[in-house]
């Protein structure tokens, strides 16, 4: 009983602090804070940790909306990857993992188009490698060697 109360206090405090961070518009930071808390909670109460992971994904989605308005393509791609990781590692949801990896690839390709126009060859090469590795992760060998 006391243990359950302590766990709930930790969760409530974590959510409140995360919400304060999110109110400043730093959804990614709020999500990262909550992720750290969820890792600890996972050992104490798995079902509560899953609720936190769902909130983290929602925070990342809000950050994606902000980043789209700012045209931060690389950051959007990274957030989709974080969502993909949580989808697979925590929820064993391969469909959501694939969907989010494909979204990440889409934004990396958009960024690559811009990098090509500005002749940013080093960053462009890194993007091509990232895209190839993501296709490889999906076992899409044809696209990974394109």
pLDDT(144) > 90? no
- Summarised one tens digit per residue, pLDDT across range 37-79 is 999 999 999 999 999 999 999 999 999 999 999 999 999 999 9
What's the rounded Cα separation, in Å, for the pair 106 and 101?
9
Six-digit token pair at 96?
């959501």
- Across the range 101-120, mean pLDDT stands at 97
Long-range contacts of 131-138 (CB under 8 A, 24+ apart): 131/105, 134/81, 134/101, 134/104, 134/105, 134/108, 135/105, 137/101, 138/98, 138/101, 138/102
| Contact present, 35 and 69 (Cβ < 8 Å) | no
Confidence of residue 31 (pLDDT cuts 50, 70, 90): very high
pLDDT(2) > 90? no
Domain ranges of the chain: 1-70, 72-146
* Range 72-146 classified under CATH 1.20.58: yes
Confidence of residue 4 (pLDDT cuts 50, 70, 90): confident
Q: How far is CA 4 from the centre of its chain?
A: 29
Helix (H, G, I), strand (E, B) or coil at 48: helix
pLDDT(142) > 90? no
pTM above 0.75, yes or no: yes
CA-nearest of 100, 98, 107 to 139 is 98
User: What rounded mean pLDDT belongs to the chain?
Assistant: 96
What's the rounded Cα separation, in Å, for the pair 35 and 16?
14
């Amino acid at each position: 009983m006391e243990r359950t109360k302590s766990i709930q206090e930790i969760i409530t405090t974590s959510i409140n602090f995360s919400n304060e961070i999110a109110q400043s518009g730093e959804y990614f930071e709020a999500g990262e804070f909550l992720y750290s808390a969820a890792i600890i909670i996972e050992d104490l109460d798995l079902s509560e940790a899953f609720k936190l992971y769902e909130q983290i994904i929602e925070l990342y989605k809000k950050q994606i909306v902000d980043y789209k308005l700012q045209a931060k393509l690389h950051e959007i791609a990274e957030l989709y990857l974080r969502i993909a990781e949580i989808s697979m590692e925590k929820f064993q949801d391969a469909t959501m993992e694939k969907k989010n990896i494909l979204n990440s690839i889409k934004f990396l390709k958009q960024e690559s188009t811009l990098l090509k126009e500005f002749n940013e060859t080093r960053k462009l090469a890194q993007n091509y490698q990232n895209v190839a590795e993501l296709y490889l992760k999906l076992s899409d060998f044809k696209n990974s060697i394109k």
